[in-house]
Structure 1
Amino acid sequence: MAASTAACTLALTPCLVPVEHPVRAHLALDDNGECTFPAQPIASVPWSLQRVMLDQLWQNSRGKGVGVAVIDTGVDARNPQLKDAVDKHDGFDLIDNKGDGTNDTVGHGTKVAGIIAARPAAGTGFVGLAPQATILPVRQNDDQGKGTAATLAEAIRKSVAAGAKVINISQDTTGVLGPDSQLAQAVQYALDQDVVVVAAAGNNGSGGQQHSTYPAAFKGVLAVGASDRNNERADFSQSGPFVGVAAPGVGMVSTVPIGGQCVDEGTSFAAPYVAAVAALIRAKHHDWHEQQVVAQIEQTAERVDPGHNNFIGWGVVDPVRALTDDAKPIDQPAPDKGLSKSGARIQPAALTLGETPQQRAERTATYALGGAALLVAVIAGGAVVVRDARRRRTTT
């Protein structure tokens, strides 16, 4: 499966690499295998939503009243699932001054917006995690790579002025930016105005080298890496000490311009998954400031280590727990004293095919005692080898 370079690189052409996926046969594709617009709706429920008990999640919040700025390639409001989600009045276009942010020739921003706030629709199992949140469409980049760090900084400030309470940035810069840069100052301005800033960690992690990407690495930004169906870091996801959490970023279904859905992958699509959770929390807890919203997401994430690591941050985001384990706000996440330092593996929720792990254990227990003891030893040793091999392959 080819990893998409969907975390658009500022000053470079946003590159959307086609993704090999079982549902490709149901999509409208051109000769290069790219998704074309419009596309056919995907009937099944995406795995990234199967892992969440949506009924329980939405009992607490659906994101109503929270504006989420999607600073990207624009958001096409013609898609029926986004028609009632997009605020054209407060949207803006930094490439075409006469635009309202809804011209998306790339499709990238429309996918990002759908993961956050796509409305339910007949004929598809896909829906946004915060289906009553409002999308503020911001066109700051395009297929010619006209976006720069300066225009991104401008977009952040204008999004704050337009009333956004959450900002999603699924882009990164081509170089290191210091705290005195325009972009750093714009991010700090948003934080000072009580706005949650969520940014993609980047897709250059396959080589194993850790480095910081911006704006994700700026202090106060919730940097999001990509996880796979096993709640492990996707091999392309950039790692580093700045990563706050991980979220589903592989085989991500979302809305495309005009109508329908396509599949893509990248930290670009993990970030809005987390931005949606931030919107849900903000809708439920109006008095929580931005740092508390971020801390809540990090504290309730599913962990493999007691605390933070450089590969999935504090863990893989758990939307339901973030909205239910919330008796009081916290300012900083804390290590989990109840989790062994050996790093108990996290298992994906509600995606078991065939027998469950418990059923399998009961069946194994019926084997002869001697054979069972040997089998358990082999399985345990094999699990450690696989886990360590995967970590060596995807980390530095």
Structure 2
Amino acid sequence: MTTTTHRTAALLAAGTLTAFLAAPAAAAAPGRAGHDGPALDGSGECTFPMKKQIEGIPWPLQRVLLDELWQDTKGKGVQVAVIDTGVDDVNPQLREAVDAKSGKDYLKPDKNNPSFGDEKRGKTDGTVDEVGHGTKVAGIIAARPRPGTGFVGLAPEATIIPIRQNDEKNSGKSDTMALAIDWAVAKGADVINISQDTTQPLGPDSPMAKAVARAIAKNIVVVASAGNDGIDGTFKNTYPAAFPGVLAVASSDRNNERAVFSQPGTFVGVAAPGVDIVSTVPGGGQCVDNGTSFSAPYVAGVAALIRAKYPKWTAAQVVTRIEQTAVRSINGRDGYVGWGVVDPVRALADLPGTPASSPVPDPAPPKPPAPEPARLALSETPQERSERLATYTLGIGGVLVAVVAGTATVIRDSRRRRKAR
């Protein structure tokens, strides 16, 4: 397998890139206009396979107490469908995670691509990833731990169903996305991750909308990225994220604020880390990337853990738990980070009761008791005046008695001294 560099389709502004990534293209991302299918939401270039692993613990994982997060489950038994550019199963961290038998490829792999050996050419099980995008997405969800790197998926015992529906040319269409969603449903997915978007208006009668509705009706948690066209701050819908019932994920930065590229809109459910994100690449190793593409699988990994811990919960309850336990700076949701930045540990905590079917604003803090008015004393009553005067009289009387008694004693003693002379 030779070393190759691939650039994903939706590129970010230069300010969001790191030293690990190449400069973005000036042109708008393909798939935004004149294309009826979702465009890839990730950005940047990664050279793969990577001979060296990233040793440190990525910053989003540094914020999570993994022992506490995994005290009940690591996602075993939960199937997460990754509808993307395919998921490589050669990377050691994904080899045991990917269920190739359940996979599907809706595109024709490039048999002439020198990046892949004979074992990958012509495969139709979704394990061909010529871009690396889907492999990164899958790694954030379910990468197994491996010596030499601090990176691991949030649900490292979950199973990935690889579905290849798009490539760097944005060959995927909305119709093939609908087919891919139906395939995930047929293969028993518990969670579906879609890190692609289109701004083309798609009504409830579109094939993709109907496929999403069928998945939700089957009690499947559908997670989708919000998109990376938010640098101007304009609210607009992207699909499939804006379809009813989909958990739309925006990107947050290290300060828990909206990443500058993250698409805002009324449909945003939560935000998750999307800047300087480490994940797996085809063949082996890891690289760093940015985008809502990598925020969505962070949330999908949390959803997989919740589904494993609470198998009887509905998809709506899983979504509600993620939204209700997110970290937010306001009492409610907004169009930038939704209900807040996802908190994996809190979402898995043993909270009383079961979630409702939709989140609600936090209870307002109790109001402090109103201060009691100061009691104003009126002038004294006649009785109070009489008692005061009587007290004065007794006091003065007592003083006079003491003076008279003292004077008598002095006179008596003086007379005795004169007689003694």
TM-score, length-scaled by structure 2: 0.74
Q: Could you tell me which residue of structure 1 aligns to residue 47 of structure 2?
A: 36
The amino acid that maps onto 1:135 is: I
Aligned mates of 1:280, 1:159 — CA distance in 2: 18
Question: What's the offset of the Cα at 1:334?
Answer: 1.1
Matched, 1:219 2:244: yes
Q: 1:139-176 CA distances to partner (integer Å, 9 max, x unpaired)?
A: 00012221011100110001000110000000012401
Q: Could you tell me which residue of structure 2 aligns to residue 161 of structure 1?
A: 186
Relative to structure 1, the CA distance from residue 13 to residue 69 in structure 2 (aligned partners, 3 Å threshold; closer, same or farther) is: closer
Q: Find 1:136's aligned residue among 161, 172, 192.
A: 161
Structure 2: unaligned runs, 5 residues or longer? 1-13, 18-23, 109-121, 367-421
Moved more, 143-152 or 69-78: 143-152
Q: Could you tell me which residue of structure 2 aligns to residue 55 of structure 1?
A: 67
Q: Could you tell me which residue of structure 1 aligns to residue 376 of structure 2?
A: none
Q: Could you tell me which residue of structure 2 aligns to residue 76 of structure 1?
A: 88
Aligned mates of 1:2, 1:14 — CA distance in 2: 19
Check whether the contact 2:272–2:299 (CA below 8 A) recurs between aligned residues. Answer: yes
Q: Could you tell me which residue of structure 2 aligns to residue 303 of structure 1?
A: 328
Pick the structure with greater CA Rg: 2
Alignment of 1:145-184 (within 5 A): 145-184=170-209
Aligned mates of 2:159, 2:191 — CA distance in 1: 10
Check whether the contact 1:52–1:320 (CA below 8 A) recurs between aligned residues. Answer: yes
The amino acid that maps onto 2:46 is: C
Q: Find 1:284's aligned residue among 297, 304, 309.
A: 309
Relative to structure 1, the CA distance from residue 285 to residue 319 in structure 2 (aligned partners, 3 Å threshold; closer, same or farther) is: same
Matched, 1:337 2:348: no
Aligned mates of 1:43, 1:98 — CA distance in 2: 32
The amino acid that maps onto 1:206 is: I
Say which SS state the counterpart of residue 269 (structure 1) adopts. coil
Aligned mates of 1:241, 1:339 — CA distance in 2: 26
Question: What's the offset of the Cα at 1:327?
Answer: 3.0
Alignment of 1:354-373 (within 5 A): none
Check whether the contact 2:40–2:293 (CA below 8 A) recurs between aligned residues. Answer: no
Alignment of 1:190-229 (within 5 A): 190-229=215-254
Q: Could you tell me which residue of structure 2 aligns to residue 265 of structure 1?
A: 290
Aligned mates of 1:158, 1:14 — CA distance in 2: 20
Question: What's the offset of the Cα at 1:337?
Answer: 2.1
Q: CA RMSD in A?
A: 2.0
Relative to structure 1, the CA distance from residue 98 to residue 79 in structure 2 (aligned partners, 3 Å threshold; closer, same or farther) is: closer
Check whether the contact 1:252–1:263 (CA below 8 A) recurs between aligned residues. Answer: yes
Q: 1:190-224 CA distances to partner (integer Å, 9 max, x unpaired)?
A: 00001000000000110111100000000000000
Question: What's the offset of the Cα at 1:15?
Answer: 7.8
The amino acid that maps onto 1:306 is: N
Moved more, 230-239 or 320-329: 320-329
Moved more, 98-107 or 66-75: 98-107
Relative to structure 1, the CA distance from residue 216 to residue 59 in structure 2 (aligned partners, 3 Å threshold; closer, same or farther) is: same
Q: 1:268-300 CA distances to partner (integer Å, 9 max, x unpaired)?
A: 000000000000000000100100000000000
Relative to structure 1, the CA distance from residue 12 to residue 89 in structure 2 (aligned partners, 3 Å threshold; closer, same or farther) is: closer
Q: Find 1:116's aligned residue among 141, 152, 155.
A: 141
Question: What's the offset of the Cα at 1:336?
Answer: 1.0
Moved more, 69-78 or 141-150: 141-150
Structure 1: unaligned runs, 5 residues or longer? 19-33, 341-396
Relative to structure 1, the CA distance from residue 193 to residue 7 in structure 2 (aligned partners, 3 Å threshold; closer, same or farther) is: farther
The amino acid that maps onto 2:47 is: T
Say which SS state the counterpart of residue 63 (structure 1) adopts. coil
Q: Could you tell me which residue of structure 1 aligns to residue 210 of structure 2?
A: 185
Say which SS state the counterpart of residue 296 (structure 2) adopts. helix
The amino acid that maps onto 1:36 is: T
Question: What's the offset of the Cα at 1:329?
Answer: 1.9
Q: Could you tell me which residue of structure 1 aligns to residue 385 of structure 2?
A: none
Q: Could you tell me which residue of structure 1 aligns to residue 78 of structure 2?
A: 66
TM-score, length-scaled by structure 1: 0.79
Say which SS state the counterpart of residue 316 (structure 2) adopts. helix
Q: 1:310-335 CA distances to partner (integer Å, 9 max, x unpaired)?
A: 11000000000000043322221111
